[in-house]
Structure 1
Amino acid sequence: MYRNNLKRILIDKKTSVKQLSENTGISRQTISNIRDNEFHDISSNVLTILLTYFQINYYEFGEIYTHEEYLQYKLSKVGFNDENLKKLNALFIKHCNLDLRFSFDTYGNDRSLNFNSSRHFRKIACNGNVRINTTLYGLTFDIIDIDCQWRPSDKDEFEYFHNIYMGIIYALEKYAQQLGFTYIVFNVANYLDKVTQLYLHPMQLNKMDLKVFISRESFDIRDNETLKRSIILKRGYIQYISTKSTQEVKNIRDNIINNYSNCSKRISAFEKENIRILNAKKIGFKDEELYTKYFKLLNKELIPIDRIYIESGF
């Protein structure tokens, strides 16, 4: 990775973007992109013109960074400082009308954040924990947990609540994209069926089935995780599987648990849930994983080409 010093050079040389463009023939947009992004990809032709114009060498114009050094540099820019927290809160207010309060986790200073919102019209609120991580793939914005509380007063409110929940997910996604994260990850929790004492992975349901399935009397972990999983899958998130063999085992298991082939008619979400519980009980299913990760690629250009297809955990 090559970090350019164009922004500092322009100040030192008292040169404007307009002047540099007119004198070199490089477009203003290209110059602005290089100035505003220290790690912007510069073609050899443009770089040669700039070095010649300023009469400096390659190492005076910039510095070479290893991928690991680059990630550490980026990490220092995306921590939960005051400026970034203001951005996050502004996105929550804009997209879901929730005002956030923050506290830092002992996990990692400005890299792990707890948040909770004020209660919207005394009916809807949320809280959660997010962490910043680095991997072979780049920077990861990891939503460890996000829980909503809902106190409905009439039947028409589910549509509004659903939109608020989508707004929360969109706000987190937009924040991660704006700050330059490579991936965003949501953790979806398995929930305990109280009768069989089995931990089950939430179903994916459409909005119509969600409206019926989600409890209006006692919105709990099953409802929260089912709603979360249904929304993120619709937004293009992909389940993370560490190895191919693990994926094959999970696929076989899920096909057995989610087998509704004996039903001759369209069945309700509640009937699907009962069938899943019975199937899980028959095969003696016991999921030892409490969470399943779902990820989405946000900034592909930050990943080294030779690492795009390397398997690695987040």
Structure 2
Amino acid sequence: MAESTEPKAPPRHNPKVIIALRRFAISITVFNIVGYLFLGFEQPWIWPFVALATAYTTELVLEWVGSRAERRDPRYAGNGARGLMEFLFPAHITGLALNMLTYVNDRIWVMMLGVFIAVSAKWVLRAPVKGKLRHYMNPSNFGIAMILVLFPSWASIAPPYHFTEKVDHWVGWLIVAVIIVSGTMLNAKLTGRMWLIFGWLSFFVLQAVVRGLLFGVSIPAALGMMTGVAFILYTNYMVTDPGTTPSKPGAQFLFGAGVAVAYGFFMVAHIAYGLFFATAAVCLIRGVFLWSLHFVEKAKAQQRPSAEVTTLPTGGTPAGRSEVRAA
């Protein structure tokens, strides 16, 4: 039997990112189970399964189409059930996160559309990074933002009590503590996004103080948002997405700070759900920057003259003398 001549697909993620995705997938699955059983999640219990089916189907179909177009093996093939599972980690996280964080009343198709947009955006909104096209828009955040933009009368973010409605006060604080500890360990040891978190938190405090001084906003109220479960989840698990954020410490800090500044702008402009729009805006700015950098480098490469070395005749000139002429 002849072997396939199609090139093997490169690994989707490095080993550390795979470990981080696996732990994140397990964490969000457990959190959803606990949420539906004890915490008071308000979406119908069947919806997480619908969200997962939508995310899996979209991811697999688009990967199959992409592999055919790029003449390579699909990235979900070649390592059995484990390879398929690891390939679907991002879709698993996106589907559960989007359903968990949005409330679309009884319109399940709106949730499904958001999941479809979130997963498929990874194939559309891409930019060149080190010679390869990579998605730059945070999938879960982008899907949520599009739901809020397209269906403002039907959809909203899950209410603040969504995560602690049916637990005692001390249990609510325990949930926050567990999320902080687990998320910090995940980002410190695996994703390496602590500089991004530092930039995000420090400038979030700064924008709250500036809004209070310039626009009369209650500073304690603006800072009080940081104690909510949704804010802690966003800080540790959404804004730190390793696939759509920079790797270098300085760039990470600027990215996190940029999200905080954008959030402050949306709050001053009285635009609701500024957290998600701020992330989408900064991701878009980063995507434009990556494309601009690519075109600048391409233009420099085209303008760089190639050189050829020609040896002059020995008559009348020292032996071995040569000159370099621009081609």
State the TM-score, normalizing by the size of structure 1.
Answer: 0.29
Compare the two structures and name the one with the higher helix fraction.
2
State the TM-score, normalizing by the size of structure 2.
Answer: 0.28
Compare the two structures and name the one with the higher strand fraction.
1
